[in-house]
Amino acid sequence: MTTILYEHPLNERIRNYLKLEQLFVQVYSCANADIQSSHQVFFNALFAIIDTLERSDIKGELIKDLEKLQQNLVIWSQAPDIDSSALEKNLRETVGLICQLKAHNQTWYQLKENKLLASLKQRFAIQGGNSSFDLPQLQFWLHQPTQQIAPQIKHWLSLLDNIKHSLALVLKFIRQRAEFKSIETESGFYQDSGEGLLLLRIKVDQSAQYYPSISGNKFRYSIRFMLPCETNGRCYSNQATKFQLARC
C-alpha cells in the first residue's frame, strides 16, 4: 500500500530541525541539478538556512541531543541482543559529531561574510526583488563555466556539513523511537496526550481523499482530518477514517 507521510513537531526545537531538514533537501537537490534553472529555489533555501541558524541556537541544541544519544547508546550496548557493529558505528559517528561541533567555531558564519551571498541575500529578502534585471551580478555568476561555479557551491555547502550530519543523526533516532500503529476513528477526529513526545508521524493511504490537520504541544495533540472543498478550499471530514500513527 502506497502512503503519504505527514510529520508534525510538538516543540519549537523539533520544528526547527524539520524545517532545516527540508531546506537541506532543497539546497542539495538544486546543487546537483542545473543551477541556472533552479537557482531561485537554491538561494531561497540557503538564505532560509542561514536565517534559521542565526535566530536559534541550533548548534547548542544539537550538542545536547547528541550527548543524550551518546549516553543512550552506551546503555543500549549492554543489551544482550543488540547489533554491536551497528551500535558502535552510530556511537563513533555521534562522538565525532559532538567533537566537531564543540571544537570549531560556527563555520556557517562564513556564509554571512561572503560578499556575493550578502549582496544577493538583500535582494532575495525583497518580494519580487530577485528578478534578473535586479540582479545583473547573479546573471553574470550563473553564466560562468560550471567548473568555476560548482566548487563555489560545494564550498558553501561544506560549511554546513556539521549541522547537516548532526541533524540527520538526531532525527533518525527520534523517528526510531516509535513504530507505526493502525488507528480507526469514526468521526475524522483523534486526540491524545502528548506528554513525553517530540514528533508525530502519520501515514495515510495515498488513495484516501482526506489529509490530517495537526495541532498540539508536549501536553496534548489533536488530529482533524480534512477534505478538499472547491467552495472553501477545505472542510472537516466526519467520515470513518483509517491511518497509521507513530508517537515519537
Taking the C-alpha atoms of residue 56 and residue 115, their distance in angstroms, rounded to an integer, is: 23
Judged by phi (left if over 0) then psi (alpha if -120 to 50, else beta), residue 188 lies in left
Burial of 225 (0-12, 13-18, 19+ CB in 10 A): buried
Cell reading at 125: 529578502
Average pLDDT over residues 114-119: 92
Domain ranges within the chain, ordered by starting residue? 12-175, 181-247
Taking the C-alpha atoms of residue 174 and residue 196, their distance in angstroms, rounded to an integer, is: 12
pLDDT (tens digit, 9 = 90+) per residue, 120-145? 998 888 887 777 788 899 999 999 99
pLDDT (tens digit, 9 = 90+) per residue, 63-106? 999 999 999 888 887 777 777 888 889 989 999 999 988 876 77
Looking at residue 82, its pLDDT comes to: 76
Cell reading at 158: 561544506
The SS3 assignment for 192 reads: strand
The SS3 assignment for 68 reads: helix
Looking at residue 161, its pLDDT comes to: 94
pLDDT (tens digit, 9 = 90+) per residue, 225-242? 999 887 777 888 888 899
Residue 246 has pLDDT above 90, yes or no: yes
Report domain 12-175's class: mainly alpha
Taking the C-alpha atoms of residue 220 and residue 194, their distance in angstroms, rounded to an integer, is: 4
pLDDT (tens digit, 9 = 90+) per residue, 144-192? 998 999 999 999 999 999 999 999 999 999 999 999 999 999 888 999 9
Cell reading at 225: 482530518
The SS3 assignment for 224 reads: strand
Looking at residue 247, its pLDDT comes to: 96
pLDDT (tens digit, 9 = 90+) per residue, 11-64? 999 999 999 999 999 999 999 888 988 999 999 999 999 999 998 899 999 999
Place of cell 477526529: 189
- Return the bridge partners of 214, or none: 223
Q: What is the 3-state secondary structure (H, E, C) of 132-185?
A: CCCCHHHHHHHCCCHHHHHHHHHHHHHCCHHHHHHHHHHHHHHHCCCCCEEEEE
Cell reading at 82: 543488540
> In Å, how far are 29, 56, 60, 210 from 124, measured between CA atoms?
20, 21, 28, 35
φ, ψ of residue 46 to 5 degrees: the values are -60, -45
Looking at residue 16, its pLDDT comes to: 96
Superfamily covering domain 181-247: YacF-like domains (2.60.440.10)
